[in-house]
Amino acid sequence: QVQLVQSGGEVKKPGASVKVSCKASGYTFSSYGISWVRQAPGQGLEWMGWISGDNVNTNYAQNFQGRFTMTTDTSTTTAYMELRSLRSDDTAVYYCARDEAFGVDYWGQGTLVTVSS
Amino acid sequence: QTVVTQEPSLTVSPGGTVTLTCASSTGAVTSGYYPNWFQQKPGQAPRALIYTTGRKHSWTPARFSGSLLGGKAALALSGAQPEDEAEYYCLLYQGGAWVFGGGTKLTVL
């Protein structure tokens, strides 16, 4: 069965960086992309970007170009997202989700990133 | 920047029917926007319901259906159950990027 298991919650200070992992299993990793989505407390979903499973292509949402980087490691079937220069409004649950070109199907459990001094 | 608009809240009676809609600030939503719909309950990750307008995932209950309606993407729920109370989000592909709607809080009462 398809599973996406994310790394645990993080607490970071403003200006720091955070890296979240998303371990995929149950499907051919390189055949599907991964989208990253975040949800601030009490708010809606926000799409951050997409990366192909083979780490060749990326598509970043305009709001996240510059301090956000997505990568994948096909040897460990793991996707990563890194967000730099963290601000308090980056406090959110970050989700990875399998992106099958025309939509998103399976989701990770989410990773809470808290930015606080 | 593109804005995707959903009804902030809707209420449906148990066993009743309700339609949620998803509009784009760029104009009429077409199949080329590949509309997706998700259900999210408090404290849980979103769950995919519909993709490419009206296709269901293997786990999607039959009472949910997706379509295009009056220039918008639509999610219909027929025979609402108490467990359908949740937040629902649409997702559209436009301008080379995915954009989520603001969500609809559906109450079954």
Average confidence (pLDDT) per 10 residues, chain A, 117 residues: 98 98 97 97 97 94 93 98 97 96 93 97
Q: What is the DSSP string of B22-54?
A: EEETTB---GGG--EEEEE-TTS--EEEEETTT
Distances (CA, A) of A113 to A38, A41, A53, A117: 10, 11, 24, 13
Residue of A37, A45, A93, A98 to mutate, interface with B, max B Cβ within 10 Å: A45
In single-letter form, the type of residue at position A23 comes to K
- Alpha carbon distance B80, B76 (integer Å): 10
Region B55-65 average pLDDT: 97
According to the model, what pLDDT value does residue A68 have? 97
- Give the minimum alpha-carbon distance from B97 to chain A in angstroms, rounded to a whole number: 7
Closest listed residue to residue A88, CA positions, set A3, A12, A2:
A12
Burial of residue A95 (CB within 10 Å: 0-12, 13-18, 19+) is buried
CB atoms B51 and A37 under 8 Å: no
Region B57-83 average pLDDT: 98
Higher pLDDT, A64 or B101: B101
Q: Give me chain B's average pLDDT, please.
A: 97
Q: Which residues of A touch B (CB under 8 A)?
A: 35, 37, 44-47, 50, 59, 61-62, 95, 97, 100, 102-110
CB atoms A108 and B91 under 8 Å: no
Tell whether B99 lies on the interface with A, counting CB pairs under 8 A.
yes
In sequence order, which ranges of B35-106 are alpha helices (DSSP H)? none
Block residue for tokens 């559906």? B106
Strand partners, A69: A82
According to the model, what pLDDT value does residue A107 have? 98
Closest residue in A to B46 (Cα) is A107
Tell whether B62 lies on the interface with A, counting CB pairs under 8 A.
no
Closest listed residue to residue B53, CA positions, set B86, B21, B7:
B21
Contact residues for A82 (Cβ-Cβ < 8 A; gap 6+): A17, A18, A19, A20, A68, A69, A70, A71
In the predicted structure, residue B89 carries a pLDDT above the cut 80: yes
Residue of A59, A105, A106 to mutate, interface with B, max B Cβ within 10 Å: A105
According to the model, what pLDDT value does residue A101 have? 75
In degrees and rounded to multiples of 5, residue B62 shows phi and psi of -60, -25
Residue in A45, A100, A103 closest to B100 by CB = A45
According to the model, what pLDDT value does residue B66 have? 98
CB atoms B45 and A45 under 8 Å: no
